[in-house]
Amino acid sequence: MKKIYEKIIKDKCSKDNYLKLTCIKNIKFFDFLGEFVRLCNPKRIFVRSDSLEDAEYIRKKAIEYGEERPLAIAGHTVHFDGIFDQGRDKEVTKYLLKKGVNLGKNINSISRTKGLKEIKELLRNSMKDREMIVGFFGLGPLNSPFFIPAVQLTDSFYVVHSEGILYRSAYEAFKKLNSKEDFFRFVHSSGVLEGGVSKDVDKKRIYIDLEEDTIYSVNTQYAGNTVGLKKLALRLAIRKASKEGWLAEHMLIIGVKGKNNRTTYFCGAFPSACGKTSTAMLKGETIVGDDIAYLRKIGGKVRAVNVERGIFGIIQDVNPNTDPLIWQAINTEGEVIFTNVLVSNEGVPYWLGDGRQCPSRGINFSGEWYQGKIDKTGNEIPPAHKNARYTISLMKLENCDTNIDNPLGVEIEAIIYGGRDSDIWPPVQQSFDWVHGVITMGASLESETTSATLGREGIRTFNLMSNLDFLSIPIGVYIKNHLKFVKGVKNIPLIFSVNYFLRDEKGAYICSFEDKRVWLKWMELRVHNEVEAIKTPTGFIPYYYDLKRLFNDYLNRDYSTESYVKQFTLRIPQNISKIDRIINIYKENVADYPQIMFKVLKQQKNRLINVQRRHGDYIDPFVLERISLEDER
């Protein structure tokens, strides 16, 4: 430790906390800690080890300082973010880039010199009269080839409490790091507080320094901006993965049950509020993770781990009918943090779509709330925010997969891409091969915007692999990494697309909430080559008789030919428009796209045009079946 830091750190630590620090031998850690202790100037420092006593101290302090409030059920608390701090803020989330470094048009950035000067000035004395918490966590299972150590410095007990639920505690692992080993670094301050929330949200900043693997955030409390190990760490991991030949993805991991008790593991990429968590929580299956996955090639197979051990999930529409396992977990004793819900006078949380009668009064993110309350612009304030959340450990769930902490992860045999799409993709289809799937499904993914990010809702946006917001490398490099990733893999995962949001001509959804169980079971059968499929210009789709059987077996429902035709009709004009749109996006915004992209997209467009000339704009799946058989002959 540098002498200039040793005294300042020691003076701000109790004897016990300083002793915890001296057990760590990594010099880079002490230089990092010393710099920000001196800059942020906390009154004292608390060091979180892996002990239960330290975890309890953090829980108590979060309540003592008003960052969380206890609820009626033991172990449950609620946290409120400011009314203007309710989602990831893309506008002020920027990469700090050195001169000459360009990540592309879609990536928000600022000069590294200018950005560091600005953020450090905002952090200066930001923790005066407060406690700095030093948290040690791991991304991925400990003692694993996937493991990445991380350190969080924050003045928010809510932030480090959340991380204690969501991530593996890694103080003991840090003690084993040598002086040269590196780690991810996160520095956060809530800034000036007013009414318990960040006051200076106009000075909110989330800056990402790729040179030092460091994330800075200030004047914000929303977990997506402050819990460093979540989407902020994903940005660092994507760059690290690109250098080292693996993938860091915005993906769930689910174990799908099949014949003779077999389990087939899928990864799935969905933008926020597009059915990701509900897919990961499907009845009868097991969950490894709902949000972020690392994928590596090990022994000729694609294997993946959940970076986390918990869920920071959108709570809107969680109720006993739609999400029975989550409902059970968040209504039983044990650690649960609710955010931006409505709390009744009895300490009971309510949220949008929970199926209960909402109280006429209570406390929410706007303070004291009552029916009809309006904000400064005259808009009525809802009882709970659309992006209200719950934070729980995966261990609270009955369907938590036994391999969640397996150091080698699980073998991935299929990958799903899905978004909000009202009129193009069918509910499920399979790509022709890995390259076709990466390009036409992953790299062409579009979705309507939701409340999980700030801004307008319902706007169709390009979001390749559901990872665009988090890219820290050029888009072209990212796609090339995917295309070459399976080189040397013996059992290349199949790629599928799903669409739970297809609508009819009147705007009504034509898939029910439960239907995704059937789509998943069909995909599992395809992985094991146990059902045939219809070849269409855009991929393989199910035969009617297979779906009819699956709907009966898993949903006890009769599946009509009318539903099949509505759901699986090929919409050629919309598909062609999408291809043209995607080609234009890449031509206008991506300088280094792989040439094979346009070749594959144009081939798909030509297939669509050829079948359109013979059969018209809209072709039902029974006609597609006949065309497929004719082509085979």
| Active-site amino acid positions | 274
CA dist 55 and 48 (Å) reads 7
For residues 67 and 154, the answer to whether their CB atoms sit within 8 Å is no
Which of 304, 294, 289, 301 lies closest to 409, judged by CA? 304
Amino acid at 277: T
CA dist 503 and 507 (Å) reads 5
Amino acid at 455: G
CA dist 592 and 61 (Å) reads 50
Amino acid at 447: S
Q: What is the DSSP string of 379-428?
A: PBPPSS-TT-EEEEEGGGSTTB-TTTT-TT-EEEEEEEEE---SSSS-SE
CA dist 386 and 393 (Å) reads 22
Q: Which residues 6+ apart lie within 8 Å of 161 measured at CB?
A: 58, 59, 62, 68, 337
HEC letters along 217-278: EECCCCHHHHCCCCHHHHHHHHHHHHHHCCEEECEEEEEEECHHHCEEEEEEECCCCCCHHH
Amino acid at 387: N
CA dist 274 and 327 (Å) reads 19
Q: Which residue(s) pair with 247 in the sheet?
A: 295
CA dist 445 and 498 (Å) reads 11
